[in-house]
Amino acid sequence: MNAPIRPNPPNAVAHRFTVAEVVRLSEEGRLPERGRIELVDGRIEIRPTDGELHTFALQALANFFNGRSERGPVLADALDVRVKATLKIDDYHAREPDLMITRRFAGVRFPAPDDVVLIVEASVSSRARDLDEKRKVYAQAGIGEYWVWEAEAETLHVFRDPADGDYATARIARAGETAAPLFAPAMALTVDDLIPR
């Protein structure tokens, strides 16, 4: 097994990794097996493993979009639900959203922004990052709709209409309310389904 990656010494010039290099390092076992790996402007960032509340919310969201909940839709054959899959924004930026709804495509490659119809993040300890930094990243990439389930506050933030590096439209849904994605307005997710009872 190859040696793990070590931090750069002081005064060293940081290397900008590409998505292809990160994939190779992962395949060689040189990146941690636990946690979420993202590439931010050529920098490898490793996020902690999910807790129980985050896992519950993500499973509820996946069940809804996969049609396995009481009110869940059945997605069109042309769409896929991807949980914790890599989104390649460009050669130096790759994110791993909690859940993506993408157009189905042939071949072996990571989804690109043009493939994505919805991204959902389940936010527990990453509120500021999800509501600010990731919101702007996804808007700049042209993702048409972005949701953040803020689990501890029991609120669903819905962002739409990317323009000028941010989303022009924002809405919050709370317990007792519903939200429907733009790609399928008849699908109504009830916020209560994301709250543990």
pLDDT at 70: 53
pLDDT at 41: 87
pLDDT at 115: 96
For the domain spanning 52-194, the CATH number is: 3.90.1570.10
Per-10-residue mean pLDDT of the chain, 197 residues long, equals 56 79 86 78 78 84 75 67 93 93 89 96 85 95 96 93 96 94 87 85
**pTM listed for this prediction:** 0.80
pLDDT at 71: 52
**Closest-CA residue to 22 (of 83, 89, 81):** 89
